[in-house]
Amino acid sequence: MRAAMEWAQAHETPWPRDILAHLEGGFFEGPPDNAVLGPAPPRGGPAGIVFRKGIRVAEWGDTHRPDMTFSVAKSYLALLAGLAWADGRIPDLDEPVLKRAAHPAFEGAQNARITWRHLLTNTSEWEGTLWGKSDLIDRGRNLGVEGQGAKRSARPLHAPGEYWEYNDVRVNALALALLLVFHRPLPVVFGERIADPLGCSDSWSWRGYSTSTITVDGEEMESVSGGGHWGGGVVISAEDQARIGLMVAGEGKGLVRGEWLRMCRTPCALNPHYGFLFWLNSDGAKWPAASRGSACFSGAGGHTTWMEPDGDIVSVTRWLDPAVLPGYMERVKA
């Protein structure tokens, strides 16, 4: 493991330590779309943990420091959706979201047709503005050139389920829908049913925006974000991320149903590298050194929880340059 550790420590993300300045400086998009609406604390240094067959075999950096995770939060939303599904709160993934989550965000000719499956696979084509952010900001987003090219495509929308696109506004719509079916703040549900039973620390948090508070059953609740694109999202340590990764690799450990996790790992019809908000390697092309059964929770800036069934490996890397992740995987497997 020494080669993998040295590789990770030598290839820190190019992101500056001042995350707020980085976001406001237009990494994802220019003004006015880049307005930060949620917390964006400064980051720490590279850190990581590797488990093999449930045994810790390597660690580096400050693994106890809570840091922003960006789109790792999307995969945590998938876990919450699995709890709602197991509870019977979402009995049919192919029914319109509006049936269980009554809100103007899911009304109208386009959005009333959107199902839970559409939201979970990033194929919803949800249209509108939520918490002050328009879906147009991420329409036309290309992760291959993230931070390097313009977005805000004026492409015509497809019917829900007919087009795959990575769009943070649409993921935030899923977070809102889950809040409405649980009738409780999602961080509370996540804590009670996943983080606390796993023995996670009390240092993690999950936030939304200054604009995302709504009234549910007479109480004000903050709808969380599915990433840190405009601030907010999950702030958590590598240690706690590893506990969650080990749970998922262990078929849910009685907390999340194994059947649900298998659905999360099933490629959607429009993208072989994506399931229910899990990144996949189903054709072996995304991460050549990893097995086709690998799955990852991935976030901008270099955050990856990698669950590798070949060798029973669970790895958490923080602030690793995403461009060198394949090289890191190769060294871990070796």
Contact 92, 241 (CB under 8 A): no
**Confidence at residue 108, expressed as pLDDT on a 0 to 100 scale:** 97
CA distance 118 to 121: 5
Query: What would the pLDDT profile of 211-255 be if each residue is shown by its tens digit?
Result: 999 999 999 999 999 999 999 999 999 999 999 999 999 999 999
CA proximity to 285, closest of 275, 271, 299: 271
**Confidence at residue 63, expressed as pLDDT on a 0 to 100 scale:** 98
Contact 194, 240 (CB under 8 A): no
Q: How far is CA 187 from the centre of its chain?
A: 14
Q: How far is CA 232 from the centre of its chain?
A: 12
CA proximity to 48, closest of 316, 326, 299: 316
List helix spans (H) across 139-251. Answer: 168-182, 186-190, 238-249
**Confidence at residue 147, expressed as pLDDT on a 0 to 100 scale:** 67
**Confidence at residue 219, expressed as pLDDT on a 0 to 100 scale:** 98
Residue ranges per structural domain of the chain = 2-333
Sign of CA dihedral 191, 186, 68, 319: positive
Query: What would the pLDDT profile of 139-192 be if each residue is shown by its tens digit?
Result: 988 776 666 666 777 789 999 999 999 999 999 999 999 999 999 999 999 999
The number of residues in the chain equals 334
Specify the fold of 2-333: Beta-lactamase (3.40.710)
**Confidence at residue 155, expressed as pLDDT on a 0 to 100 scale:** 85
| Below-70 pLDDT ranges, the chain | 144-150
CA proximity to 247, closest of 199, 192, 288, 180: 199
Q: Which residues of 224-249 are buried (b: 16+ CB within 10 A; e: fewer)?
A: bbbbbbbbbbbbbbbbbbbbbbbbbb
